[in-house]
Amino acid sequence: MSSSDCLPDYPLNSDLVKRLKSSLEARDEKAVLDLMCTEVKHVNAIIELANDDWMKEPDAPLHPLVLVGLWSLEYKRELTNPLCITASHGHTNCVRYLLHWDADVNAAPGGKSALHEACQGGHTDCAELLLEHQANPNLMSEEGLAPLHLCTSPNTLGCAQMLLKHGACVNQESNEGQESPLHIAAKHGLVDHTLLYLQHGASVDARNRHEETPLSVACGQAQEPHGQEPYLEVCRLLLHHGANANTADEEEKSPLHKACKNASHCLVQLLLQNQAKVNVFDYNGSSPMAYVLQSASFKRECRPHQTVQTLLNHGSQRIWPGAFEKVLKSCAATPEIIGILFNSYSKLRVSEKWREVIPQEVFQMYQPFYQSLFMLSHTPRCLQHLCRSVIRKHLGSKCWSCIPQLPVPDPVQHYLLLEPEDLLL
């Protein structure tokens, strides 16, 4: 019998449940404790807190997607017990009282035990109390998650520490996604959790159901420009502890592919400094360079041209000259990218057809730059540019490390490293 089939001692419409929910919403721990002490029949009573049983109400309007069979008609019913309720709200005194009266510490009437609930809410004192009373730190919920898998926010660090102290398996996989706690920490950008798990022997290159390592997961999550710093720190920790920067997932995407898709320049630099291969291809034949060019138009706030520049200075293959028109069409609103790519060739024939793929409003916005580009259709590149091309060809993938050591002024170094220019000469 599943948890949803159990008959509750206190159904949803009972007076006790109504008063209990009111007390919980008010965060009134004293009122909750009074109810548990004086009115609940026994400490392991089954309480129904919610019920989305669509089949009980024949006249209830259903979502159109339900009617066409795209959603399951199975209902969700939230069954719980006093220990789970009080642990989920961090009511330590209530938890202590229930444990004193022999509440079943590992009962999970709603699919999660009290320890799951405490950890999910970041209630360290409750988690510690439950563990001291023999709560199973590795108990799997109905959803196939151990308590460590529910430590998904910074305020759950204390719970994670308590779990490991009491024997939680740091490499335990979730049932469905086969994710380790380290995958979870990487997914949520939890720097302290990541360090904690690594210090307790977490497998740094463990793979989940999609063949992703924690490093791959973190690189895929670093999407917002102002929220990338925690993921950068997580990746730095993983790499410091021996993570392989080139482990690909089931689609042959490397961490560098994912960092480039997010135009995460600092993360791209970090990966390349840790021997990430710049010219690898996924199952679709796309390189890291292709990924950043594909996402550049909607990642402008991330300054994607910096990623393009970094890839080229680490030896990325340039795009096929015949595809330049396609890149111009998708990246026209980011002229820095166009200039960097164009300057990576010693010579590239400018086609008059290119003008047709640039939106008029974009051309007007960056008119001096694009005018300088089309002027080169009848003019050879300057000697300075040709010298730059020779030097870059000689240094190859070492441009990023060798050019800064050349005894030349900083502006010359910047020029050799393809810093964006206002005009093309």
Query: pLDDT digit string (tens) for 371-410?
Result: 999 999 888 899 999 999 999 999 999 999 999 999 999 9
- CA 187 to CA 206: how far, in whole Å? 14
Q: What is the structure's pLDDT at 5?
A: 56
Q: What is the structure's pLDDT at 51?
A: 65
On the question of pLDDT at 2 being above 60, the answer is no
Q: Residue 9: helix, strand or coil by DSSP?
A: coil
Q: Residue 322: helix, strand or coil by DSSP?
A: helix
On the question of pLDDT at 66 being above 70, the answer is no
Query: pLDDT digit string (tens) for 87-128?
Result: 999 999 999 999 999 999 999 998 999 999 999 999 999 999
- Give the DSSP letter string of 75-93: --EEEE-HHHHHHHTT-HH
- Give the DSSP letter string of 111-143: SS-HHHHHHHHT-HHHHHHHHHTT--TT---TT
Per-domain boundaries in the chain: 1-58+68-137, 254-425
| 136, two tokens | 């199973």
Q: What is the structure's pLDDT at 73?
A: 46
Query: pLDDT digit string (tens) for 247-283?
Result: 999 999 999 999 999 999 999 999 999 999 999 999 9
Q: Residue 317: helix, strand or coil by DSSP?
A: coil
Q: What does the mean pLDDT of the chain come to?
A: 91
- pTM greater than 0.85 (yes/no): yes
Q: Kindly give, in sequence order, each residue whose CB lies less than 8 Å from that of residue 424, ignoring residues fewer than 6 positions away.
A: 339, 342, 343, 369, 372, 373, 376
- CA 308 to CA 391: how far, in whole Å? 19
Q: What is the structure's pLDDT at 389?
A: 97
Span 16-42, average pLDDT? 84
| 162, two tokens | 């308590």
Query: pLDDT digit string (tens) for 294-311?
Result: 999 989 999 999 999 999
Q: What is the structure's pLDDT at 183?
A: 98
- CA 315 to CA 67: how far, in whole Å? 55
Q: What CATH number does the domain located at 1-58+68-137 have? A: 1.25.40.20
Query: pLDDT digit string (tens) for 320-343?
Result: 998 999 999 999 999 999 999 999
Q: What is the structure's pLDDT at 24?
A: 85
